[in-house]
Amino acid sequence: MDLTFLLSVVLFILLSPLLYRIYTVLASPLHHIPGPFLARFTKLPYFLSIYRGQAHQDNIALHRRYAPPGQHFAPIVRLGPNLYSITSPDKAVYGVASKFPKSSWYEGWRHPNPQRWSLFPNRDIARHAETRRVFSSIYSMSSLVGYEGYVDTCNGIFEQRLRERARGGEWIDMTRWLQCYAFDVIGEITYSKRFGFLDGGEDVAGLIKALDANMRYSTLVGVYSWIHPYLYRMLEKMPNSGAGGRTYINQTIQRRLEERKAERKKRTVEGGGKAKLSVEEEGAPKDFLDRMFEMLEDGKKGVIPYHLFMLCMSNVVAGSDTTAVSLSSVLYHLIRTPRALEKLREELNAAEKEGEINGTEIGFNASMKMRYLQACLKEGLRLLPATGLPLWRVVPQGGATVCGQFFPAGEVGINTWVAHYDKDIWGEDVESYRPERWIEAEDQGGEKIKTMEAYYMPFGLGSRTCIGRHISWLEMSKVVPKLVRTFDFELERPDKEMTTQNYWFVKPVDFSVKVKLRAESIV
C-alpha cells in the first residue's frame, strides 16, 4: 500500500472530529450569531472569563462590540458552542409559565447526593414550584413585620460597632462589615441567635471563607458540570476547597438544627406535649425555624424534616452575600453622589418631623412610603446587581423562538448586568447613579416605567425570583436610613471606581472607608 495514501488516511481519521466540528458550525442555522471565534468550538473562553472574576464586564463588552449600527447592544451574542447571551428578559424563557428549565451549569451548586437537594439548583420545574410553595408564606411580604425586631436588634449593634470605629479613626472594609451585619440578621431571623459577626467584624469560625470557596468552586465547575460528582468527592475533605467549604457550611447548619431540636424537645416535655415558651419569649415573634417546626409538627403543606435543613442552607448561603453586595452599592454610590445623599437626608429629616421615625429606627412600612429612599435602593441595585452571570435556561425539545431568533436547541440566558447597562433601556446616563430616574418614570407612567421594571432584575425573574428578596429589602430599607443619618463616610480612594470580583455574586473588593459621626448624632 502506498505510504502517502496510508498517511493521508491516518491524518483524515485524526482530523475527523475537528472537521466534523467545523462542518456543524458552518451548517448550523445559528452560525450568523456573533461572538468570539473560539466560542464557536469551545466553552474555554467563557470559563476563563469566569475564572478571572470579570465575566459580568466581559459579557457587557461583547454585546457592545457586536452591536448593529444604530444600537448600543447586540441582541444575541455567542459565549460558547451552544451558549447564547440575550439582552431581553423574554417571557417565553423567564415567564411564570416558562418551559425552559435551568441548565446544567446549576449542577455545580448541587450536592452529588440526590437526597441533599435544594431550591436554587433544582432543575425540575414542577418540583421547584412544589417546594417553593412550602416556603412562600414565611418569606412573604406580609411576614416581614414579624422579623422587623430582629433587624432592629442588629441595627443597634451595628451602629455601636461603627461608633467605635469612628472614634478610632481607622480605615475599614465596609463590605466586610456589611456582610457581618447581613449574616447576623439572617442568624436572628432564622434561629433567634446571631452568628456573632458583628461582635468584632471578624469571620466567625471561617464561615465567610467557606462560603467564598464554595461560590468559586460551584461557579467554575458548573461550566463543565459532568466533572462535579467526581471532583467533589476528591475535594470535600479539604477545608480550603470549595467542596470542603460546602461540607463545613452543612455541618454548621446541621449543628444549629440539632440544638433547636433538643431545645424544642425539652420545651415539649415541660409544656405537656406542646413546645413551651419562656417568660421572655411569650409574645415574641417567631423565627423561621419555629414556623417551620410548627408546620412540620402540624403535618401541613407536606413539610418534611429535610425542608428545615434546606431552609437554613438557603438563608445562610444566599442571605448574606446578596444583601452585603446590595448595601455596598447603595452606600458607595450615595457617598460618591453628595447631591443624592443630601436629598435622602432631607427626606429622612422630614419623616422624623412627621413622626415616621422613632428615635434612630425607621419602621419598614414607613420606609416603603419614602419615594426617594426607595429610588436610592433601586438605583444602587441597578448599578451593582448581586449576580453577574447569565441566568442559563435550556431550549425545550423542538426548539423555540427567543428575541426573534429560532433556536433549535442550546442554552440561552440574560445577565442582569447586561440588562441593567443597556442604554436603549436606561438612556445615555446608564452608568450614572441617578435615583430620580425611577421617580420621573413613575410620575410619567405608561410604557417607560413598564419597560424599566421589566429589565430590572436584581433578584432574578419569573418563578425563579429569589425567594428571600423581601428579607433583603427589609434590611436595606431599615439600615440605610440609620447609616446616613448617623454617620458620614470618607472613601479611601475617592477618585477610583469600585472594583469587583464575580463568582456568581459580584463582590466589591476595595470599598474602604473612614467612618465619622455626624455632629447631630454625637451622644
Mark the binding-site residues for heme, compressed into ranges. Answer: 466
CA distances to 62, 67, 403 from 85, rounded to whole Å, are 9, 13, 11
H-helix segments, 169-304: 174-191, 207-221, 228-235, 242-270, 288-298
Q: Which amino acid is at 117?
A: W
CA dihedral in degrees (365, 367, 368, 369; nearest 10)? 100
For residues 344 and 335, give the distance between their C-alpha atoms in angstroms, rounded to a whole number. Answer: 12
For residues 231 and 241, give the distance between their C-alpha atoms in angstroms, rounded to a whole number. Answer: 10
CA distances to 122, 132, 133, 302 from 138, rounded to whole Å, are 20, 11, 10, 15
Q: Give the DSSP per-residue string, 193-213.
A: S--SGGGTT--GGGHHHHHHH
How far, rounded to the nearest angstrom, does the alpha carbon of residue 206 sit from its chain's CA centroid? 21
Compute the chain's Rg from CA coordinates.
25
Q: Which segments are annotated as binding site?
A: 466
For residues 220 and 228, give the distance between their C-alpha atoms in angstroms, rounded to a whole number. Answer: 10
Q: Are 324 and 500 in contact (CB under 8 A)?
A: no
Q: Which amino acid is at 430?
A: V
